[in-house]
Amino acid sequence: MKQLPSQSVDHSLFIHQLVIGGIGLLGLWQVYVVRGLSWSALFRLGDPVAVVGWGILVAAVVIALMFLLARVFPEQVRLEQLPSLRTDQIIVLIVIGVLSEEIVFRALIQRFLLLATSSPAGAVVGAAAISALFPALYRRPYRERPVLLGSVFLINAILGWAYWYTGILWTSAWAHFLMHVVLLLLRQQPVLGKEAGRCLTASLARWLSRNRVPAMTDLEKTIVINPWSLYRGPALFCGIGLLSVWQLYVRHGVSWTTLFGIGHSSKVLAVGVLGAVLMFSISLILVKWFPTPSKRERLLLQLRLSLIVLLMALSSFAEEIIFRVVIQRFLIESSSSIVLGIGISSFIFTIFHEQHMEHLIVSAWRFAGGVFLGWAYWYTGSVWTSVLCHFLVNVATLVTAKYFDRA
């Protein structure tokens, strides 16, 4: 029998990253250590909880940004092909590459620019610009795709901000590592996930046969095979929001009950329900002008009512945590401007729902809806007002389209 040749490992990938890391360490020694700054000061760990927390948040923001750019500019922003290595070898390569790049671009260049200019923004932007030009020098796709090059700049600017804000290199390194690992996992189909899906499918099928549940639609069968396909987005968004709330507020003395207290229940109920009626009425008018639903909305209409209600509850809660409790509250407290806080958070809310941005009027309405939800949260002091309003509008819209507007 002819023996198949063993897969060779491209050691040049590892050597390339090790050379970059070596240059970075040599630069740190020449610029800082020789002048009296210790290695422990450059690589101090600090508060591990803060490092882990901020790293996860920054990685989540970067991953969300990459997927948003990939959806808006699919031809400009494409993920690079994975090297012909085993998964464990790719992980090792990621670790070496992350440490090398963070040493060079953050610990060496950004720190030097900060000392030279005394401008945190200038140092972050300068280091991000250099890190974006670096791949453009030897990789043709970065020179031919300006959006791809711009995304590298934005990602490095976010990582640079994390390094400056925490003063710890391991924060940006941890975020950088998580970003690559999550993208690696999303581009693979692990066996464990398939086996878990098969087991869950078999168990649920037996339960359905015993309880005589009506036959499922094709979409629901797909969801049963891979349950996270329906809930993983809102659940991940909710987790990021709660982690952000803990990192920004709870760790600094603001209690969970203060952030998520119901407050005056009658006021919350009145503003939430009346606001939902108003927003839903305007939405019905806009649907007559722009009746084309998004692909996601067409798929949701195939679900049974209980799944629609559960998904809308989760997604409404997750979005209100992010856009109102995290972003709006942070902007209002940092700028002391209610208008600025509500306006910017509503703009980000509109950009997030980019599938509705093909029509300017629909985008303007989405922004106005974000402003109202932000105002409702500020006026009542309870996030449950905007959650209730958001939930009722979404459910009413989908139920109307499912049962009363077959066209």
pLDDT digits 0-9 by tens, 161-185: 999 988 899 999 999 998 888 777 7
Residue 382: what residue type? S
User: CA–CA separation, 166 vs 181, rounded Å?
Assistant: 22
Reported in sequence order, the residue ranges of 141-246 that DSSP labels E, i.e. its strands, are none
User: What is the signed CA dihedral for 327, 365, 275, 390, rounded to 10 degrees?
Assistant: -50
Write the DSSP symbol of residue 292: -
**Model confidence pTM above 0.85:** no
Residue 320 and residue 310: Cα distance in Å, rounded?
Answer: 16
Residue 372, pLDDT above cutoff 60: yes
pLDDT at 178: 87
Residue 385's H or E segment, with its range, is helix 383-403
Could you tell me the pLDDT band of residue 247, with boundaries at 50, 70 and 90?
A: confident
Q: How many CB atoms lie within 10 A of CB 273?
A: 14
Say how many Å lie between the first and final Cα of the chain, rounded.
64
Alpha carbon 297 to chain centroid distance? Answer: 21
Q: Does the pLDDT at position 331 exceed 80?
A: yes
Of the listed ranges 33-37, 335-339, 403-407, the least confidently predicted one is 403-407
CA-CA-CA-CA torsion sign (153, 49, 91, 185): negative
Query: Lowest-pLDDT range, 68-82, 128-142, 276-290, 367-381?
Result: 68-82
pLDDT of residue 7: 47
pLDDT bracket for residue 132 (50, 70, 90) = confident
Banded model confidence at residue 81, pLDDT cuts 50, 70, 90: low
Q: Which is nearest to 370 in space by CA: 385, 348, 354?
A: 348
Rounded-to-integer distance, Cα 176 and Cα 163, Å: 11
Look over the chain and give the mean of its residue pLDDT values, rounded to a whole number.
Answer: 78
Structure tokens at 252: 């600094």
Predicted local confidence at residue 383, as pLDDT? 93
195-to-182, 190, 206, 208, 223 alpha-carbon distances in Å:
20, 9, 17, 20, 15
Check: CB of residue 133 under 8 Å from CB of residue 141.
Answer: no
